[in-house]
Structure 1
Amino acid sequence: MTQSAEEAPETQYPQFPMKRTCPFSEPGEYAKMRESEPVARATLKVNGKPTWLVTRHEDVKQVLGDARVSSNLKLPGYPHQFHIPEEMLAQVRLMLLSMDPPEHTAQRRMLIPEFTARRVKEMRPRIQQIVDEHIDAMLASKGPVDLVTALALPVPSLVICELLGVPYEDHAQFEEWSAAMMNHELSPEEYGAAVQGLDIYLDKLVTAKENAPGDDLISRFIEKNRVDQVADHVDVVTMARLMLVGGHETTANMIALGVFALLEHPEQRAAIQDDPSLLPHAIEELLRTFSISDSGTARVALQDIEVGGTTIRAGEGILALNNAANHDESVFPDAGTLDIRRPEARSHLAFGYGIHQCIGANLARVELEVVYETLLRRVPSLRLAAPVEELRFKDDAMVYGLYELPVTW
């Protein structure tokens, strides 16, 4: 027998997002919900509106694979994570993450060739060169350094710039816009200004490539689109924004968090240094552990659906929490413990699931592998240069991470 939650006063619902008390674990409320109320009501802190939180691994997969839910952020009930003014929302052009089929299918099909395992393998030598150059500069400074600004941020930023054909000399400005767009706590005006600033910049860039295509992803998309006609100029600008922001923000945070984790678990770091073949599997465990884009899998029900014995009504918002799913003890025993040899690690949902699974997962994995392997090999004495208690984690951001990671050697 299914049940549907009776509408309680919204002030009685817990507020979302919920803060992690330890970077290696989920918010404490998730475990309680998985145990007693795996599909639970919550209030969005950003706007006070109610939504459903889904916390069990199998239920999160169900939601993300269900055609009866939509990713369309313009639909009423969609659980927005930012202050988006109504007039701005009405003008928003949907990007790949917020599209449903058939539009999503058509655009994704055009992008998939850019991120295949073969294509990413061809990029690996250049990624290695970028990593080596930044570690050279880091070592030349003789430390201590902030690993975020010295390595974690510039490497994926430069990689995605070269892939898209975005001038890297503009990175400081678009990284500022990107960081603002990830901040839950900005005002509607500040959020809108960041989106508008980046879109104006990319509009000019896309226009230039429409007139004179180069050898880059945006240009290739434009050329394919002349035949397939699945997108207009604004769609291309929106796609470029998603690729630029998503292509560096998430990987940069995982680089910093992964290094932090290995410094805090010296026995596991030593195991990788002794046997680098452990690294690909260790990366899956790090992705599972941190689940940095916890609430990026927002949906809205198109019709009544049953999830975990609870009926979610048409028009109600859903957050399928991958951090909760990735700490589900029924799938990952002793889930709060980092274990680079964990056999089930690759069952994680850190890249999402279903038709919206992260298209750049292959690229992210290669970047992480090259960075971790090179850093552990070339700087074996790397250590924190500040007490753990002083590190600032991104509890206010859409993508979890570290603001700085002071290290020395």
Structure 2
Amino acid sequence: MTVQNMERLPKLPTERPAGCPFDPPSELREAPLRRMVYPDGHVGWLASGHSAARAVLSDPRFSSKHELVRDPVPGSEGHHGKPAPVGDMTGIDPPEHTRFRRLLVGKFTARRMQKLSDRVEEITKDQLEVLAGHDAGADLWPLFAQPVPALVLCELLGVPIEDYDLFQRYTEVLLTQDGRPEEVGQAFMALHRYMRELVLAKRANPTDDVLSDLTESDLTDTELAGISVLLLVAGLDTTASMLALGTFALLSNPDQLAAVRADPDRMDDVVEELLRYLTVAPRAVRAALEDIELEGQLIRTGESVTVSLEAANRDPERFADPDTLNVLRQAGGHVAFGHGIHQCLGQQLARVELRVALTALLERFPKLRLAVPADEVPLRANMSVFGVRALPVAWD
């Protein structure tokens, strides 16, 4: 392909349209599958259609190996060719991925997560009292959205909650798309050292938590530390962002908020619609292991495909009136948690947390509202997980 032709190709659009803060870039949906140029000059693909996204994510001919995929976000060009850190399941393929997945999947079953509901309710209630202690207004992000999933996850894994501020700092660095490589590397190594020390402590004195359970497997200390880093980073920020952004979306749509309050027993459906509508983890990337025909296009061996999860969840071929938040719709089939063998392990935990926390928040504060105009809520534009930097709320 000539330089002139490459210059005509689109790059990954990241600018959200003015007006609605929840809508993904409109350019994402110009075609279900189209050519795209990556920051390192690689000419690959952008899959935006729901059907195309699911096809790529479920087809074993597409690889997740970090050393094969190209990163679509500027600043990460140097990552190509480097394998995933030990224990990072997101960047490996079977059979290595299968070994890790089998060990972990039993720790995050829907049944086990449901049994956690009582504890999630206790943690949520405590944080609501903290929030209520701020008179008639506060920032929901640090007082409720962040601590609820953090307390739950740390308790589930067996990580000391008093170190939460430390994890949060490291996680923010790791999820910042334009972070300096040396800072990202330092944050990863520091978090990995911390988790390795915790693994050794659990081996010596196991407690009733997932991390202690995993020390009885054949995982090495390095593998277990790496998996723990992945679970911590992936679980802390995504659910917190969904909780804050979901609240923001409901408060910005009074008719939808009224529908939720009118029938709180439908919160499971509400959560699925919020997951579809918001899609805080916006993309996944795969590399073709052989020539593959998809959507009438030929994807060549070695070409990377960026799967836009946020665009797929707004596909009008799959969801009627997709840009409208509709808590009464059946949003099953969305890809907010991905699809295929790499689908999010913690999705059932996230669902429990969101259902419990949103229900309790709206019940505790029946007149909850935004304390600033919606367009003044600060968004995180440079993070790999979409969300808010603050969510000022008020109540009577």
The interval holding the TM-score normalised by the smaller chain is over 0.9
Q: Secondary structure at the match of 1:320?
A: strand
Which residue does the alignment assign to 1:266? 254
* Greater CA drift, 389-398 or 251-260: 389-398
User: Which of 15, 18, 31 is residue 19 of structure 1 equivalent to?
Assistant: 15
User: Which of 91, 113, 116 is residue 123 of structure 1 equivalent to?
Assistant: 116
Amino-acid identity (%) = 39
Residue 303 of structure 1 pairs with residue 290 of structure 2? yes
Deviation at 1:94, TM superposition (A): 5.0
Q: Secondary structure at the match of 1:15?
A: coil
Deviation at 1:198, TM superposition (A): 1.0
Deviation at 1:42, TM superposition (A): 2.2
Whole-Å Cα distance in 1 between the matches of residues 298 and 4 of structure 2? 15
Which residue does the alignment assign to 1:325? 312
Residue 390 of structure 1 pairs with residue 354 of structure 2? no
Deviation at 1:17, TM superposition (A): 4.5
Residue 232 of structure 1 pairs with residue 224 of structure 2? no
CA 1:200–1:273 in structure 2 vs 1: closer, same or farther (change >3 Å)? same
Which residue does the alignment assign to 1:83? 76
Per the normalisation by structure 2, the TM-score is 0.94
User: Which of 277, 293, 304 is residue 289 of structure 1 equivalent to?
Assistant: 277
Q: Secondary structure at the match of 1:53?
A: strand
Deviation at 1:90, TM superposition (A): 5.5
Residue 404 of structure 1 pairs with residue 390 of structure 2? yes
Structural mapping, 1:355-370, within 5 Å = 355-370=341-356
Deviation at 1:89, TM superposition (A): 3.4
Q: Secondary structure at the match of 1:52?
A: strand
AA in 2 matched with 1:24: F
Which residue does the alignment assign to 1:139? 132
* Greater CA drift, 365-374 or 298-307: 298-307
The CA deviation string for residues 215-272 of structure 1, in whole angstroms up to 9 with x for no partner, is 111110111x1xxx3x322111110011111111100000001000110111211221
User: Which of 342, 351, 364 is residue 329 of structure 2 equivalent to?
Assistant: 342
AA in 2 matched with 1:294: P
The CA deviation string for residues 147-194 of structure 1, in whole angstroms up to 9 with x for no partner, is 010100011011110011111111111111101111111111121122
Q: Is contact 1:84-1:191 (8 Å) kept?
A: no
Whole-Å Cα distance in 1 between the matches of residues 359 and 80 of structure 2? 47
Residue 44 of structure 1 pairs with residue 32 of structure 2? no
Per the normalisation by structure 1, the TM-score is 0.91
Whole-Å Cα distance in 2 between the matches of residues 371 and 25 of structure 1? 24
The CA deviation string for residues 60-81 of structure 1, in whole angstroms up to 9 with x for no partner, is 1110110101111022x43364
Whole-Å Cα distance in 2 between the matches of residues 258 and 157 of structure 1? 17
CA 1:112–1:90 in structure 2 vs 1: closer, same or farther (change >3 Å)? closer
CA 1:314–1:7 in structure 2 vs 1: closer, same or farther (change >3 Å)? farther
Which residue does the alignment assign to 1:58? 51
Q: Is contact 1:79-1:318 (8 Å) kept?
A: no
Deviation at 1:212, TM superposition (A): 2.1
Whole-Å Cα distance in 1 between the matches of residues 146 and 304 of structure 2? 33
Whole-Å Cα distance in 2 between the matches of residues 80 and 327 of structure 1? 20
Q: Secondary structure at the match of 1:346?
A: coil
Which residue does the alignment assign to 1:151? 144
Q: Secondary structure at the match of 2:332?
A: helix
Count of aligned residue pairs for this structure pair: 392
CA 1:342–1:167 in structure 2 vs 1: closer, same or farther (change >3 Å)? same
Which residue does the alignment assign to 2:204? 211
Q: Secondary structure at the match of 1:114?
A: coil
Q: Secondary structure at the match of 2:250?
A: helix
> Any unmatched runs of 5+ in structure 2?
none
Which residue does the alignment assign to 1:312? 299
Whole-Å Cα distance in 1 between the matches of residues 78 and 225 of structure 2? 21
CA 1:90–1:71 in structure 2 vs 1: closer, same or farther (change >3 Å)? closer
Q: Is contact 1:83-1:186 (8 Å) kept?
A: no
* Greater CA drift, 243-252 or 104-113: 104-113
Q: Is contact 1:97-1:356 (8 Å) kept?
A: yes
Residue 160 of structure 1 pairs with residue 153 of structure 2? yes
AA in 2 matched with 1:79: D
The CA deviation string for residues 105-159 of structure 1, in whole angstroms up to 9 with x for no partner, is 1211111121112111111111000000000011112142110101000110111
AA in 2 matched with 1:232: T
Which residue does the alignment assign to 1:241? 229
CA 1:399–1:289 in structure 2 vs 1: closer, same or farther (change >3 Å)? same
CA 1:365–1:299 in structure 2 vs 1: closer, same or farther (change >3 Å)? same
The CA deviation string for residues 29-86 of structure 1, in whole angstroms up to 9 with x for no partner, is 0222x2xxx32222334x45443110111111110110101111022x4336463756
CA 1:86–1:293 in structure 2 vs 1: closer, same or farther (change >3 Å)? closer
